[in-house]
Amino acid sequence: MIASGDKGDTLAEALEKSSEPTAWAAYMTIERNCLKARVISKPFGAAPNLIIGGSNRRWKRLSEVRETLSKKLVDRLRTGEWTATGILSPVSTTSERILILPHLWGVLEPDFEDSSAKSGNLLYLDVRVYQPTPRSAGVPDQGALAPAALANSAKAKNRKSPHESAEQSAARGNAYQAVHNMARRVFGKQSIVPEFDVMAKELAKPEYNLEFKKETIRQILNGSYRPAVNTGIGRFEMKPQKPKTGW
């Protein structure tokens, strides 16, 4: 069983767990040969600017196998079978670990060397992967992670406009999640949690810098706001749920 405080796997660790043992062993043999021949300078490293002859053949073989293994992992993340979190760049003093919405893995490129994922200007740092599901894999017990979002991410349709970029889609999901985060900060120390209508009235004040009106905030909190649900943001819960079973 994995504890609720589990920090998850790096992308490189998740790649190994996602791969068949024989396929992974074959990849490691190819990578060791590339390291020995100085085709790459470190594990999961990129090819040098200039590669010729045998080095080029080794790099081609390594990159082909790496891409095959990577596709299997990314498919699991894209379908919601496995879940990932990360810190959205640029990092600031208010940055928090957030859920990477499953559909974004249709465009995100994983970097196994530093466990990051990027698409254009969209960059997630310190990516962590949880499997097989958010409930049973023990997603971190952190206020920064909206528990309803993690619990519902695999079931959400995650629909987006065909004209919406990955950056816009991520920003939209983060805006909904910001409502949950702010509610936890403002009301987390109260002995009795207020009703959603009371919470929404307070959070709609300008000083909280949320981009929604009271009624929309109320719906985001009670889990009835469809655009938020479609990005994996469900009903607000003050404390993350602890998984009952492990794997």
Q: How many domains does the chain have?
A: 1
Domain that includes residue 73, residue range: 12-79
Start-to-end CA span in the chain (Å)? 6
The answer as to whether 153 is a domain residue is no
pLDDT score of 141 more than 60: no
| Any domain includes 185 | no
Question: Looking at per-residue confidence, does 99 or 50 come out higher?
Answer: 99
- The more confident residue out of 91 and 159 is 91
Burial profile 26-51: b = 16 or more Cβ within 10 angstroms, e = fewer: ebeebbeebeeeebbeeebeebeeeb
* Residues 68-116: tens digit of each pLDDT: 999 999 999 998 889 999 998 888 887 888 889 888 999 999 999 999 9
Whether residue 183 is predicted with pLDDT greater than 70 in this model: the reply is yes
Cis peptide before 110 (omega within 30 of 0): no
Residue 65 inside a domain? The answer is yes
**Nearest to 34, CA basis, from 63, 66, 59:** 59
pTM of the model: 0.56
DSSP state of 81: S
Measured over all CA atoms, what is the biggest interatomic distance in the chain, rounded to whole angstroms? Answer: 70
| Helix runs in 37-146, H state only | 53-79
Residue 181 lies in a domain: no
In a domain, 73, yes or no: yes
Q: Would you say residue 21 lies in a domain?
A: yes
